[in-house]
Amino acid sequence: MGIRGLTSFMKGIRAVWTSTCLSSTKLVIDGNNLLFHLYISSGLDMQCGGQYLEYYQLIRVFFSTLKKHHIEAVVVLDGVDEGDLKLPTRRKRANEKIGKAQTFDCVPPLFIEQVFFQAAADSDVELKMCDYEGDTVAAQLANSLCCPVLSNDSDFYILDIRLGLIPINTFEWQQNGGPIRCQSYHRDAFLRHINLSDEFLPLLAVLIAV
């Protein structure tokens, strides 16, 4: 779900970031995060039927671009919610999104998830559906595949991902024929920078969010 304020906090620490060009690797992708990012950043008209066909084509182009750079995507999808533990937080976030949508006219249509799933399947992308939230599964999978994770979800800043986290909004996949440039966050570099043991990371995240 993300930790409020953590992304802004990390962006301000240059020592935890490295610039790189991504190619010839596997890449674990936070599917739920990517599908909304692609739609919101696409500039599609959300008020005229959802523009599902255009969105489908955009997803196909995204995964085709990855393949051209020999990047093998593995998309991890969230499953059902874990009981009612996060229900108050989900309600609060939903109300905040509704408020923003009323201001900026950006309410994603109902079926973009189904369109994303179909486009990914038609692109022969490996999809992994989790029982519950997929953050931990994605991190573990990335470590087993020796690759980074692609996501804007700030929860990943505190998870142990050995080859790093690539925020989607730094992933320059739409360059005309050039390499895919991106920024990569490394948790070990952050721990060294602030001289902190990893066992205190969750506590730090809570303090930042307060």
Q: Of residues 91 and 56, which shows the higher confidence score?
A: 56
Per-residue model confidence (pLDDT) at position 202: 64
**Dihedral sign (CA 158, 159, 163, 166):** negative
CA angle in degrees (0–180, nearest 5) for 138-154-102: 115
Superfamily of chain region 6-209: 5'-nuclease (3.40.50.1010)
What is the band of 88 on the pLDDT scale with cuts at 50, 70, 90?
Answer: low
State the Cα torsion 200-206-207-208 to the nearest 10°.
110
pLDDT tens string 112-141: 999 999 999 999 999 998 877 889 999 999
- What percent helix, strand, coil does the chain show, rounded to 5? 50, 15, 30
SS3 string, 136-184, reads HHHHHHHHHHCCCEECCCHHHHHCCCCCCEECHHHCECCCCCCCEEEEE
Confidence of residue 103 (pLDDT cuts 50, 70, 90): very low
pTM score, two decimals?
A: 0.83
